Structure 1
């Protein structure tokens, strides 16, 4: 039997969003699926309210090197192995995702942030075909119009020891993605071999980095077949990325565009859409 875990890094500011996500995971997956919620140590008591036999709440500190210390009063940490540049919170979250996926015992992990809810049933078969984990990829999408994505690709290639390539590049970034834990472990081992330092230090030294891009480039350009033989450009998630809050009318219009094969919906936390309106929108999906 193929096993699956859902992994979500979160924090106190997103607690109520994570409550809704967790409820949707438990409602839409088989009883064998567990939801791992990983939070800073200071938030363990708060998130502990969600813990049960299928919801595992753990401290992100277990996935971070001891050499990484937070700078009081800031969103930065410092890696004592390499003090400069400081490690931003966004990079730390990506290190946590990578470490959690590499440590997973399941055959496939689905990584989602707190601002997603699952609207339809899904399971391991959604993301695994003939033993190969689904890879989200959209070829020829990245060029000079997306400069940050270009930097992500260059950083991934450098970390993996790959030669530079000219764009356009493939887009591997989505709000809902699946990883093969065995491939994540292999990828991190390669980074350590290429950079000759712990993978957390190598990634933490990046000013701009995308874990999704790193994994996609590794699967396609380092491994190739058969690791990339189950690929799709369908995100399976209907997403609202704008930073403008939705109101009742715009939320209704947004939800009306959900595709039949979308299993999840994402309204970005950065949109500052009111929680009450979000929950009203989620209720309308039932």
Structure 2
């Protein structure tokens, strides 16, 4: 990491001991639960949380994870936050100029990226608009804001969450936790585009990352094919944990790539 980058490591509380050796001044270690409201309780052994204020529906782990991301981003007094899931590996250095070359965070936005083949994405758009107090989206293709890694401006996140509270009349985490379908990246993108406006704002459809989203395992040959598509501008590689790709193969392929690139 570049000198002006701090890597906040956020893991479940029971995994803190596994990451102790990584903790340092520029790599603070956090329990994920510390970014959730105190009234939001974990229900072991299932990956479900219960909001005491609104116990039904229970909060699925995937929704709780997104609340953690929103809360963590809003809490940081920094210029830019980069959301990096554990299945992303950086292959080149990054700093604030990577995702904010002119000083303002560039919004990832793929024009007409959500069509009839992605009904769940469209549902995420409708939920985001309702949480923000916006009218339903018009029929037809919608922009896609989902990317990995994902760059946010914390001051924008804070204003967005205030808007959710004003529109719903509830604490933002309670409002989000009450949803069965939700995307934090779509919420951010819809807020920036529909509330703040795109005039004068830089957008991009380039993630600067090579991605393997399919739930199909890669072997040494297909890993090599994936890495051969890396461009000079790319800074990361994402191989979905759901793909079932061997961790040993993944590490060996990435090590060989870094040695020869």
TMscore range, shorter length:
over 0.9
1:90 equivalent among 47, 50, 62: 62
The 5 A counterparts of 1:218-237 are: 218-225=191-198, 229-237=201-209
User: Match for residue 52 of structure 1?
Assistant: 24
1:171 partnered with 2:144:
yes
Q: Secondary structure at the match of 2:147?
A: coil
Q: Distance in 1 between matches of 2:229 and 2:184?
A: 28
Runs of 4+ in 1 over 2 A off after TM superposition: none
User: Match for residue 128 of structure 1?
Assistant: 100
| Offset at residue 225 of structure 1 (A) | 4.3
Q: Which has the higher strand share?
A: 1
Farther-moved stretch of structure 1 (211-220 vs 136-145): 136-145
The 5 A counterparts of 1:103-252 are: 103-166=75-138, 167-225=140-198, 229-252=201-224
Q: Secondary structure at the match of 1:69?
A: strand
CA pair 252-41 structure 1, distance change in 2 beyond 3 A: same
1:41 partnered with 2:16:
no
Q: Distance in 1 between matches of 2:222 and 2:99?
A: 31
Unmatched runs of 5 consecutive residues or more in structure 1: 1-28
Aligned residue pairs, count: 257
Unmatched runs of 5 consecutive residues or more in structure 2: none
Give TM-score, length-normalised by structure 1. Answer: 0.87
CA RMSD of aligned residues (A): 1.2
Q: Distance in 2 between matches of 1:202 and 1:88?
A: 14
- State whether residues 11 and 31 of structure 2, in contact with CA within 8 Å, keep that contact through their aligned partners in structure 1: yes
C-alpha offsets along residues 211-234 of structure 1, whole Å, 9 cap, x if unaligned? 0000000011100145x6121000
Q: Secondary structure at the match of 2:57?
A: strand
- State whether residues 137 and 171 of structure 1, in contact with CA within 8 Å, keep that contact through their aligned partners in structure 2: yes
